[in-house]
Structure 1
Amino acid sequence: MTHGSKFLMGCFTAVFTLAALTLVPLQAVSAAEAGPAAVVNGTAISRDAFDRQMNGVRQSLVQSGRLLNDVQLRDVKKRVLEGLIDREVLYQAAAAKGFKGDSKAVEDRLADLRGRFDTQEAYTKALKTMNLTEDILRRELTQNSAIEQFIDKELSKGISVSDAEAEAFYKERHELFERPERVHARHILAAVAPDAPESEKKAAREKIAEAQKRLQKGDDFATVASEMSDCPSREKGGDLGFFGRGQMVKPFEKAAFALKPGQTSDVVETQFGYHLIQVMEKKPAETVPFAKVKETIAEHLKKEKVKKVVEDFVSKTKTQAKIERTPVDEL
């Protein structure tokens, strides 16, 4: 799948899913129309729209290795359908208040999307594969934008988070702000599989030995990594960034955390092959001060408040709406 196709599917995710299940990006082959999946105040939610969402959910489950039994699948269908109904309720409320979406932002997003494909033909083909047209995509993005405007300017009005609320969250969830010891390292890898023939392992050992000789002669680590490493990090001179314990395989972790900044390891063998590791920086375990995370906490708490307001609004509005649902066993 191309990068453009992945982005295209991401564009089509529903703005809010107020059921417990978060809807995933759409990806589907079109299904024949067999009547609407639901009707909200006279506006139909097409079976195609439902099928696109369900196919996205199925693909996500397959990729995660999860299989659903019939009872679980039925429950997922119910949640997907309610998510689509929730979105339609929000859009109708937004339209009633005069929100039309930001057309310029939508067109900019579509232009960005087109630019992610090598040709117009590839773009059109990707849309067709997902049973979409640009007009459908434009309509959905515009509706999403209108919903966002409605939530930002109407439902979120007056919602704020005090310093006291933010500090209380910081104290109650202090474990979220504890950073373990971390190292910033780079490496050179001579890749070879654990079950590779001895001849391949010998070649990998010779390669890492040659890299080690260059380092011992004083060659720059990043230069040697960019020229000899088999890891994609070679594009950054072997730089792996900061990592904590448990993020790397054990032999690699043990060697990296044993080094002092500026030191380079001897050859380290892992399931990926042979490594030379250089630690650039170490940071001890610490608790992030409240002042550094106050704004992030406040933003999180505000989003939670807005989410609750939206959920309550949709729940109340649905009780006053005329909603017809196709039984999920027929979807």
Structure 2
Amino acid sequence: MFAAIILSAVTASAVQAEPSADTVVASVNGTEITVGHMILVRESLPEQYRNLPNEQLFDGVLEQLIQQTLLADLIGETDNREIRLTLENDRRLMKASQAVEELSAQAIGEDDIAAAYDSRYADADMGVEYDAAHILVETEEAAVNLIDKLQAGADFVELAKEFSTGPSGPSGGALGWFGLGMMVPPFEAAVVAMEKGAISSPVKTDFGWHVIKLNDTRAISAPALDEVRGEIIAELQRSAIERRIDELRQQATISLTPIENIGIDVISQSELMSE
């Protein structure tokens, strides 16, 4: 049994002062398990497990790798198509991910960031926001009666507090500032068509009948550069990666097998993997 699993003895004299990713933690039938193997397993764990104490993590990860090595030894060297192709895909993905990281890490100048910001926002129409209030009642008749009171000089805020069944009633019907898409369509359409200071005709929605007052409108301001800096940098990085891929594609020799020789349905024919 001791010959089956040969663990490296970790003693005070054997511990390296500064272990590296290649430092051997254990050996199973001659297959080495290194610090690097353990780090990669830890980083792949869900966050709740990564936050466990290192002592608990170390033992658990090492045991997992030992068990995996023992089970892998049962198979030994294999020409299993699924394993081989999976490893090829994983290797391709990891190398591509590394290339993306390296391209993303390249410095992006402030001039580029400022130019991208100006391109996006300098002449952009950000739309309009509306400041409105409403009184919500159950029937059209009640809405008409409220409009008559308002035309006779009644105060909108006081009527909303007294008659509105909506949650904004106690605050005088105030809805605050909102943009397009934030209100149900019939309500939004009525507001957009109104002049500042106007009172609407009764407006029907699924909530009931509304009497709306448009208090004010304003143009939506573009966000400050610092608010969208991260988003712009990410966009510039994506563009740089796409340009680099296009360059590589133009330089590469890519040959495609005519699709009629393969058929698009092969992608879902899992049974081909076992042939």
Q: Which TM bucket (shorter chain)?
A: 0.3 to 0.5
Tell me the TM-score normalized by structure 1: 0.36
Q: As a proportion of its length, which structure holds more helix? A: 1
Bigger Rg over Cα? 2
TM-score by length of 2: 0.42
